[in-house]
Amino acid sequence: MSATAAPRTQRARAAALTTSIVVLTLVTGAIHLSLGGLMFTLNGLGYFALAAAFVVGAAISHPLVVRFSWLPRVALIGYALASIVAWLVMGGRYDLAYVTKGVEVALIVLVILDIYRVYGGVAGLIRHAVASLRWTVAWIRG
């Protein structure tokens, strides 16, 4: 493999991972939106908003976006986990629900893989998040 092929391969893998995360997020959002009712509609819209935030974080290299690129990842994992827990507590046990939970589990796994790709692991993400929050506090204080 040539020296230029390795970065191209890494970019292709990163693009495939990002695309997979966004597609799974949109799929679970669309499923929730299709169920009707306020709770499902809000859940679906939340997934759509997180998909948009993830795309912005992956596609825009503005320093402010890069500084907070950890936030959509953490929010997406938390949102998917909250959806799974809510379903375990009060959800219906039908085929589409199991499919949706499978999509959400796959989504969590892919976001964790992305965290390892971008930050080198959870510790790297935490360091990045703490640094961005320190910067924010310093900026607010002036």
Q: Which residue has tokens 């085929």? A: 95
Give the residue from 129, 111, 11 showing the smallest Cα distance to 54: 111
Which amino acid belongs to residue 50? L
- pTM score of the predicted model: 0.89
Q: Average pLDDT of the chain? A: 92
Q: What is the pLDDT of residue 20?
A: 98
The string of pLDDT tens digits covering residues 27-79 is 999 999 999 999 999 999 999 999 999 999 888 888 888 889 999 999 999 99
Q: What is the pLDDT of residue 4?
A: 64
